Structure 1
Amino acid sequence: MAHSAMLDPDLLQAFVLIADGATFTQAANRMGRTQSAISMQIKRLEEILGHPVLKRAKGGAVEVTEHGRFLLSRARTILALNEEVLSACHAPEITGTVRLGTPDDYALSYLPPILKRFAETHPAVQVDVVCSSSPELVEQLKTGALDLTLCSDGNQPRAWPITPLWRGPLSWITSTRHGQHRQNPLPLAMAHQECGWRSAAQTALEKAGIRHRIAYLSGTQAGTLAPVAAGLAVTVCALTVLPEGLRVVRPDEGLPPLPDFGIVMLKGRSPTQPLTDALADHIEARFSRDIAPPVAA
């Protein structure tokens, strides 16, 4: 029966190429096959799934069907995992230590699955993680104390190569059980004066004419979230998954929109290799595959 068949990565690769805008001819050239072979692969995929994944639109363009959209993100994940397994198994084992810097809020929400998967594929590599503010991490990278760091976009030195990882709006965060986001003046839980999130929040409030005060200061994301959960302040963040008791403030609740915010990755001038590149690849793959902005309830 169709539902017991396996999804061949070649079928998924052909589908993803076409869904991403390649013609059947272009997909065939990239995969080293004929156009008719690609057409047969798509037909075979649809037979396995029991639904069409592509359809012809007006003007002969190819569109992804509803079932195709469901498949697309999952196909990317399957292909990425397939590539990861093959690369890990065929690559020679590497050993040593790589030094990774990250702001603590990224360590909380993004790093655990990255480090877990990296440890599975590179069991002989030790990762030393340093948590600090973006400006401090960049300084450590410049001095050679770090091989690799994540930081907020805008903190990198001029002309320093970066790898963009994520971009999306900052969000106002309040308690699920309290109404501190309606207080006047608005109580804020923020980080240090140089924090880009703090600057963005205060600028937005000032432009909107909303009175506010810094009620709590903390050098860590966990420290700013604690008074929010207690109903004592609001904060801003870009976490994709919030701790229990916290929620994103809805646009209709009176707080001004916040600007987009980016997370970037920087490598040192002389990083430990090939460890740094291997860890950087894991981080980039994780962000491109799984990280999405938070959604207001």
Structure 2
Amino acid sequence: MMAIPPGIDPDLLRSFVLVAEGGSITRAAARVGRTQSAVSMQMRRLEESLGQALLLRGARGLVPTPHGIWLLDRARRLLAMHDEIVTNFRAPEIAGPVRLGCPDDYALLWLPQILAGFAEAHPAVEVEVVCLPSSVLLSCFGKGELDLTLFSAGTEAPGVAAETIWRGPLRWVGPAARPIHLLRPLPLVLCHTGCTWRVAATQALDQAGVPWRMAYSSASQTGTHAVVLAGLGVTVGLSVALPPALRLLGPEDGMPALPELEIALLQHPGAVAEALANHIRRGFGDGAEVSARAA
């Protein structure tokens, strides 16, 4: 009879995820309430049990190896499901309202699946979804007007440690039927001043020496997509779930590379908020794999 290999302690995976995301054993130790030496020992135990190096020291701290990157996405999903199971069996039935903030840049991509699963698990909870720019959502969260919020990392958070739940490529988007990206100055369709996507786009163009002008602006991605669909400029967005008649633009189109986007989560204490946060973590873990395939 074939022997069953030993399992992996979820505590090891949790520490690994925090180290990989923060690039520091010291910061991870503070998050899990352990000493630095204890977390270092956990990383050694995890690498020994899997037989592969998972972390390397780089210029910005500890970074995951190729095996570590493979493990990181799966560890996030496993931990989210693990926490959901534990919460559902140990915690009393939760009920009441919860206020969730999410930029509309990625609300339609992830929230339907997340909210459907949450409603099935917790039918007595009433969810209010607020879609606003990241900077506004962070202000609302800081004033206690939201119980938890998603936001694009890089926007200044209100003095609270945020959790990175997704990382993926930011891409140029233009109309499929018109080569508007060849115009100089390049007409841009972006969000408000200070938006992390807008900053990333204009900095990339400046560094590449591509002249540009702000043709249109909108507080939502729906608005920017509408203008691009009209053939009036290019914008930036994710590499998945593009409306028909839009296409991704890359180096072959003369467009400079853009940095990766990080989506982060902030939450106030509370059983309802924690339950919804667990569904969000699992939903974005599933979405990361979809995005990686599309890119």
TM-score (norm 2): 0.71
More deviation in 141-150 or 90-99? 90-99
Q: What is the match of residue 285 of structure 1?
A: 282
Separation in structure 2 between the aligned mates of residue 13 and residue 119 of structure 1, nearest angstrom: 31
Structure 2 gap segments, 5+ residues each: 17-42, 54-72
Letter in 1 for 2:117: R
Query: Structure 1 pair 78/136, CA: closer, same or farther in 2 (3 Å)?
Result: closer
- 1:22-63 per-residue CA deviation (whole Å, 9 max, x = no partner) reads 989976xxxxxxxxxxxxxxxxxxxxxxxxxx9xxxxxx689
Q: Which runs of 4+ in 1 moved over 6 A?
A: 20-26, 73-80, 294-297
1:97 touches 1:127 (CA, 8 Å); kept in 2? Answer: yes
Whose Rg is larger? 1
Deviation at 1:143, TM superposition (A): 0.9
CA contact (8 A) 2:250 2:256 kept: no
Give the alignment of 1:40-55 within 5 angstroms. Answer: none
Choose from 256, 271, 275 the match for 2:272: 275
1:193 corresponds to which residue? 193
Aligned sequence identity (%): 43
Following the alignment from structure 2 to structure 1, what is the Cα–Cα distance between the partners of residues 137 and 286?
25
Asked whether the 8 Å contact 2:102–2:131 carries over to 1, the reply is yes
Kept after mapping to 2: 8 A contact 1:249/1:296: no
SS in 2 for 1:170: strand
Letter in 1 for 2:147: D
Aligned 1:115-264 pairs, distance under 5 A? 115-157=115-157, 159-238=159-238, 240-264=240-264
Q: Which amino acid aligns with 1:204?
A: A
Q: What is the alpha-carbon distance in structure 2 between the residues aligned to residue 130 and residue 94 of structure 1?
A: 21
Aligned to 1:165, what secondary structure does the other structure show? Answer: strand
- Give secondary structure in 2 for the equivalent of 1:207: helix
Aligned AA (1:282): H
Q: SS of the residue aligned with 1:291?
A: helix
Query: In structure 1, what is the Cα distance between the partners aligned to 2:142 and 2:74?
Result: 38
Which residue does 2:93 correspond to in 1? Answer: 93
TM-score by length of 1: 0.70
Contact 2:96 2:124 in 1 (8 A): yes
Cα distance in 1 for partners of 2:229, 2:128 equals: 31
> Which segment drifts farther, 154-163 or 115-124?
154-163
CA distance in 2, matches of 1:25, 1:249: 39
176-185 vs 153-162, which moves further: 153-162
Once the two structures are TM-superposed, the CA of residue 288 in structure 1 deviates from its matched residue by 2.1
Alpha-carbon separation, structure 2, partners of 1:248 and 1:25: 38
Q: 1:11 to 1:80 in 2, by over 3 A?
A: farther
Query: Between Structure 1 and Structure 2, how many residues are aligned?
Result: 251
1:97-117: CA deviations, max 9, x gaps?
111111111212221111111
Per mean C-alpha deviation after superposition, the further-off stretch among 241-250 and 189-198 is 241-250
- Specify whether residues 25 and 128 from structure 1 end up closer, same or farther in structure 2 by C-alpha distance, changes over 3 A only: closer
Structure 1 CA distance, aligned partners of 2:46 and 2:107? 42
Distance of aligned partners of 1:259 and 1:186 in 2 relative to their CA distance in 1, 3 Å threshold:
same
Once the two structures are overlaid, the 10-residue window that deviates more, 226-235 or 136-145, is 226-235
Most deviating of 109-118 and 152-161? 152-161
The within-5 A match list for 1:31-42 is none
- Cα pair distance change 1:136/1:25, threshold 3 Å: closer
Distance 1:267 1:188 in 2: 34
